[in-house]
A = this chain, B = another copy of it.
């Protein structure tokens, strides 16, 4: 039917038998037999004192398998599978087992926020063909959760029957190639509700993204309510309805933790802070001055970092937020300082003259104050790449995590300086690119990071490109990002999903697919699986975008070029 598909042997290697799993496990053996899910299917836990959030996760998995109602992505949507239902075995039980039984296993939410170097997401999974019990085993409840997200993706529905056609299935050991797999959302340029964020966390759970990088404030708005600084949101939020209360933050953190997701909050400083001027005009240089001269985008204004009062205020704000959060990480931002603004700011120049410091000397002092406060709370600080590559900040602690965003080409230089990095390169992972210029009265402008970053391009990202041998361990992972100049709740799902799943597989599965083939060279193999997880997301209320006409989604490889 499709003469362009070469030999049958080649087809066999191109089409994996487990179309539905994203990210694909690092080890995988599966058959192509059908087993049916018992109407009394249950998930049992073979250890004592399971934490409540594991019980909740089990309940969600059972529910999702019932409600996904996903027809398999083939012509007929499973009608051919149904011919085997009569003779197929029935699967009754999945057992969750801890490999190292602890007296009181820790909650998923606890395991999800332990330090990156000790976090354990590994698991094994078996689904036998004969109807005997399947098993998910892991060292931690977090690993069990990862196994559940894989298990959920095995099941399809046809004519009321829930079944998988990938039995028997064995995942000897699956574990992430990189410990940091994130997604960043900017809730400042436009506001997103807690329910928008929760829906996003649901999708992240499904594809094993383990960090929600929450860029919560920026120059345009200050949505976060902080009890000690109520004036910031009162003057800086778009409206009282567009704020996050402390309870909202805890709600998101809990919801994320239960889904194995660490919440890394960023309060970007000292740049990207114009809105602070709405309540503290004395703290902000160039407040609402001409943006073209003094800022990367409107409105202009950034913290008067030379002023110790401002530094202490900033440290207090960051601390007030950070101390309420379980994560070991907190981001102070640090990108895109506008030096023209500081050059034109009389108080800044007066201070620098008086103290004999350069601007970057002063930034060092500012950073020492703000990071010092966070370190005192036990936090690992996270910054954008300019802090290392442009400002040469000398007070950064060695364990600072640096996010590389300007270009993937900058990663090697940061690593050379001995810092750990998170890949967040605009040229691969910025989800906002390609929507045209949003600055007014520019009839023909494109976005600064044109073109649109397709899932395919993100998928080809090489985390170790140009990283020196022996320094690979400094690469923690990566994330895709949504800056929201041109986004809001209306297009959140469709601009993020399924594209943000690209990096989820890049950083979970790594370079090599379970069949031994190279990931990047087998992008045609990924597409059917990405269709599958996209269709499953839609069944779960996440409005992920179409990648192709449905005609193509039902016919793997038929729409390859």
Q: Which residues of A contact B (CB under 8 A)?
A: 1-4, 77, 189-191, 219-221, 238-239, 242, 288-292, 297-299, 434-446, 450-457, 459-460, 484-491, 493-495, 520, 523-524, 527, 538, 543-552, 554, 557-561
On whether A545 and B488 interact (CB within 8 A), knowing A290-B3, A441-B560, A560-B440, the answer reads yes
Give the distance in Å from the alpha carbon of A298 to the alpha carbon of B547 in the complex: 14
The distance in angstroms between the C-alpha atoms of A392 and B3, with both chains bound, is: 34
A349–B291 alpha-carbon span in the complex (Å): 66
Q: Are B441 and A549 in contact (CB under 8 A)?
A: no
> Once the chains bind, are A487 and B545 in contact (CB under 8 Å)?
yes
B438 touches A548 (CB 8 A): yes
A497 nearest CB neighbor, chain B only: B490
Complex Cα–Cα for A561 and B441 (A): 7
Contact A454 B436, beta carbon cutoff 8 Å: yes
B452 with A550: CB separation less than 8 A: no
9 closest A-B pairs by beta carbon, nearest first, are A436-B454, A491-B494, A490-B543, A440-B560, A441-B524, A220-B551, A189-B549, A488-B546, A439-B561
Q: Are B4 and A486 in contact, with the CB atoms below 8 A?
A: no
Chain B residues near A1 (CB-CB < 8 A): 288
Q: Give A242 to B549 CA distance when docked, in angstroms.
A: 13
A242 to chain B, nearest CB (A): 8
Partner pick for A190 among B488, B550, B558, CB 8 A cutoff? B550
Contact across chains for B3 and A440 when beta carbons are under 8 A apart: no
Q: Would you call A435 and B457 a contact (CB within 8 A)? A: no
* Interchain nearest-CB distance for A278 vs B (Å): 10
User: Is A486 in contact with B547, judged by CB distance below 8 angstroms?
Assistant: yes
Give A220 to B551 CA distance when docked, in angstroms.
6
Are B298's CB and A558's CB within 8 A? yes
B491 x A190 contact (CB < 8 A): no
Closest Cβ–Cβ distance, residue A145 to chain B (whole Å): 27
Known: A3-B290, A488-B546, A543-B490. A524 touches B440 (CB 8 A): yes
Which residues of B are found within 8 Å of A490, using beta-carbon distances?
493-494, 538, 543-546
Question: Are A557 and B437 also in contact (CB < 8 A) when A189-B551, A190-B546, A490-B543 are?
Answer: no
